[in-house]
Structures are given as structure tokens and as C-alpha cells.
Structure 1
Amino acid sequence: MKLSYHLACVLLLGTSGCVVEAMDDELAAELAVGHEDTTEDTGTASEELQSTGEVGLAQGQPVVGLGPTSDRVCFLTGIKGNFAGLTERVRVYTSGGSWYLDVDSAQTGVGAWASCAYAAAGTYTGEYTWDSAVDNYPKHMGTATGRVCFLTRIQGGFNNGSEWVHLYVSGGDWYMTGKTGGPALRAGARCVSVPSYSGEVSWGTDDLAQYVGSTKGYSCGLTRIIGSLDSGADKIHCDRITDSWYLTGQATTGNLGVRARLF
């Protein structure tokens, strides 16, 4: 299934131009290849799920459709802006047999990127949810054998550096958990059947773009977000640069970090 990746940015995350491509240009001059394998896994990416392309959406723009639920699973590939509390929400969800990307915010500059991977209905799960106000223990999401999980929803505050959400493998199973130092925090995730998937790749505030892998036949999903999203310029993104996935970001104040997997 190693077919070419086709970028499909149909909406804007800025005042002009396609932000996905704009970020490619900005980062091209400072790329540095770096891979950090941080968790136990079931193997390396090989003949995984082909990406359908990527869509960006900014607050104030209408919900955008991502395609039918019958042949794909969709997920977040990046978020940006001032996440101050529960009024800030980005999500990929299903309704009436289709996938959608939605952004809500009472702050400024909030937006999200989403992508889909070709996968037949029945090979991916419903959405698992975690809520800092309700869930005192990690949310169990099933076996890690032949299944990879990724973030589909982020809601709440990332504004004092101690907030985080994480999808991780422990004892052969997937879990979702998080922590907040103040504002409430919620997250959603889905899992999909795959032959194998990569370890986590990490990007932090002081890092250049981190190489995740090839875009040819492969998808990139977020698994961990930590730190401060305090302004419209703050962002994290699994970014397509030429024929490769890179994990990138920008933090204007404080520390910010993100992890992703290739599948």
C-alpha cells in the first residue's frame, strides 16, 4: 500500500496561503534528522496505512468534512493557539457516516490539522475518552498487538507547563492518561488495526524538526502533548516536508513538547 501522499489542505490556518505548505517552507532551511524511540512497541512501520492527505481548520471557520467512515479513520496531526480552558476544543469526530474536523475557542489563534488513513470500517475503534475531573486512573484501550492508537480530541487548558496527555503502551496494552495543574483537561483517542507501528518520536521546545519517517504509504498520528499553549503562535504538528514526516512545533513562552508515531 505504498502509494504517494497527496496534500489536501482545503482550508486556511492563517491570514493567507496554505499553512501546511507555508510551514514546510519555513522549516526546510533548518531541518535536522533525529529519532527518539521512547517506548516498547510491536515492531517497525512496514506496509502500514496510507494517508489520504491533511486538512487545516482555524477557529471561526465552519466544520469541515474529511470523507466517509466506510474506508478511512481520521485523527489529529497538529494543534495551535491559546488553550486556556474547556472553551478550547479541537476534535475529529463521526456523524452521519462521515468524518469531520471541528474547532471551538473563546481565545485567539486556536486551530487544528487532521489527516485520515485508509482503513475499512470495523478495523478501527470508537472514541475512548479521558477527563481529568473524572478519570483517576489511566483509561484502558485494549491490546497493543496489531493496534496503534492516536489522539482525536483535545479540550482544556495547556497554560502552566504541567499539563499533559499521553497514549502509551504498558504490559502489552494501550492506555490513555494525563495530568493538569489547574484547568480541566479532556482528551479522546481511537485505535486501528495495523501490521506494526513505530516507536514514539519526540519534539521539544529547543529541538529542530524531528524526522518521523516516509510519507509514502504511511500516516503520522499524535500520541502525547505536554507544556504550554499560551498564544496564537504556539503550535505542534506532524508536518509533511517533501516525502517525509517531521514532528515540529513552536513555543513562544514556556516549554512545549509532542510525540508521534508512524503507522
Structure 2
Amino acid sequence: MSTHHFARKLFLAAPLSLFAVGCGGDPMMDQSLANETAPAEAVTETAAPADASLAASEQGVALGGTYWWGTAANGLTSTSIGTSTNRTCFLTGVQGNLKGTSWAGVGVFDYAGNWMIFVNQSNGKALSSGVQCINTATNRTPEVSWYDGQAAKLLGAVTSARRCFLTQVEAAGGYTANSDYARVWNDGYNWYLGGNLGAAGGARAVCVDVASDQGGWLWIAGNPGSFTHNLAYDPGGVACMLSGIGGNFSTSNYTDGVSIDYNSGTRYWEMTVSNSKRGWGNCVK
């Protein structure tokens, strides 16, 4: 484990719901970035905004930190991003190269009472993970893992408040085809984690109670191409996380993938997808 700098900024959010699919490639990112990047390592944290009191007044979910971790170093690199007491963390970004000679993975896990953001790989390529934490652990379920070839895994029964999101993705040949994906969903009765991968890989997920669903989206990028589209509008109290990812994650590039971020200039949560990737995002309040 190594220690890295933290850079604080502002954030928070509220309502809007929609379901949308975006195809094609609005060239929102510099295509020269498709070249291999130099090894780098960083972790950044984004905290609650100056107008966090607005979120409290609207009784929205309280954000518990937004993080990014990227490295080209081989092996498991991780760092603590704070307590898991009354706080739950989910995946918001997967970018770079999951293709290697053995298992690779990104995400967050609970260890000894703290959330750890991590990157694990063996190919020396750029790989990064984005994580969003929210300040609740109400009825949090145990983490469930699903791997290619298995039946969809049960996460828990549908309730009025249960929301489920990804915590990790893992690959040993999977996530290298446009058709590869893993996601969480519910059928009105139960929440599930599953998908379809052409080779070894999988994902992990956790559920927690959050009062209000603010909408779900699926965005798909053309190949080549990248674009950014809005998710939920956020005057305060909204959080958006990944409920699924798919596509070919085989480029050594910290911006080639799927990510959910907050745009303080527009007060919208946004999803960016690139080069055949797809992302499922859901927002809660």
C-alpha cells in the first residue's frame, strides 16, 4: 500500500428521472489520448459543497466523498478512503486496461472497518477506478460476487428503499469485447447481479436503503468516439453511481472507459463513455 495526495473540491445533488440510450460518438475527448499513457498514480477526493445545507433541507442523501485512483503499477495498490460505519461506497468509474495475463480489477472493498479503493493488475498499463460514498449504511447487504458462466446472483428482495450498485469489476479475459457486460437490476420482486462475458471475469455489488430513486440511464459510445451526457439534475441531495458496465476495456488510457461525475457548473451528474463502452447509471436521493 502506498500513500498519495488528496485534493478536495465541491459537490452535491436533487431530482429528475429518465431512461436514455446514447449511441454514436460526439468527439468530446481528445482522440490523441488513445495512445498509451505514462505510468502514474494518484488519488483525489471530492467532498460536499459549500451549499451542503441545501441538501439537508431537502432531506436528500448526504455524500460521503468522491474518489479517483489510477495507476500503471503491477500488483494490488490500495488506500483507505475512510470509515465504513454509517457510510457505503460504490463504483462510479472504470477506465483503462483490464486486459492482462491474469486477474485484474478495480473498485472498493470494506476492510477492517474502512473502505479501500484499489487497482489490481499485472500488465503495467493505465487502469483507474472512480468511487462515490454516501453517508448511510441502513440495511446494507453483504457484498455479492458474480462470475461469467454463473447464474445471476440474488442480492436481496425489492423493497421501497433498497438500491443496488456495483462495488468492483474483475477480469481475466473478460471485458475485451463490445458485447461483454455485468450489471445489477430488479424484476419487481428481487435484485440481481449478472451479465454476459466472453471470457473469465465478473463483478461485485452491494445494496443499501436510500429513500428515493431519481432515475436510471444507459449510455453507449460508438467506436471510435466519446461523449458526455446528463443524468440527474442536482440542486442538493442526489448521488449517482454505476449499476453496470460493458465493452472492451483494453486501452492503456485513464480517460478511456465509463465514468460518472458531477458538473458543478450545470449542477448535473454526468456520464462519460468512450470507444464502444456502455454504462448503466442510477441516481438516488
| TM-score class normalised by the smaller sequence | 0.7 to 0.9
Q: Which residue of 206, 224, 230 corresponds with 1:211? A: 230
Residues 217 and 34 of structure 1: CA distance in aligned 2, closer, same or farther (over 3 Å) = closer
SS state at 1:114 partner: strand
Q: Distance in 2 between matches of 1:34 and 1:130?
A: 28
Q: Which residue of 227, 248, 251 corresponds with 2:247? A: 227
SS state at 1:63 partner: strand
Match for residue 119 of structure 1?
136
1:235-261 per-residue CA deviation (whole Å, 9 max, x = no partner) reads 11011111321011222xxx2110100
What is the TM-score with the length of structure 1 in the denominator?
Answer: 0.77
Q: Which runs of structure 1 show a deviation greater than 6 angstroms over 4 or more consecutive aligned residues?
A: none
**Identity, % of aligned positions:** 24
1:1-263, aligned counterparts within 5 Å? 35-36=18-19, 47-59=59-71, 60=73, 62-84=77-99, 86-107=102-123, 108-120=125-137, 122-133=138-149, 135=150, 137-145=151-159, 146-156=161-171, 157-181=174-198, 183-206=199-222, 208-213=227-232, 214=234, 216-233=236-253, 234-242=256-264, 243-251=267-275, 255-263=276-284
Q: Distance in 1 between matches of 2:140 and 2:66?
A: 19
Q: How many residues align?
A: 223
What is the TM-score with the length of structure 2 in the denominator?
Answer: 0.71
Cα offset for 1:215? 6.5
Cα offset for 1:203? 1.6
1:13-33 per-residue CA deviation (whole Å, 9 max, x = no partner) reads xxxxx7x99xxxxxxxxxxx9
Match for residue 27 of structure 1?
none
Q: Distance in 2 between matches of 1:126 and 1:91?
A: 16
Residues 11 and 241 of structure 1: CA distance in aligned 2, closer, same or farther (over 3 Å) = farther
Residues 260 and 56 of structure 1: CA distance in aligned 2, closer, same or farther (over 3 Å) = same
Q: Which protein has the larger Cα radius of gyration, Structure 1 or Structure 2?
A: 2
Residues 35 and 140 of structure 1: CA distance in aligned 2, closer, same or farther (over 3 Å) = same
Is 1:11–1:56's contact at 8 Å kept on the other side of the alignment? no
| Unaligned segments of structure 1, at least 5 residues | 1-9, 13-17, 22-32, 39-45
Residues 35 and 208 of structure 1: CA distance in aligned 2, closer, same or farther (over 3 Å) = farther
| RMSD after superposition | 2.6
Cα offset for 1:172? 2.5
SS state at 2:279 partner: strand
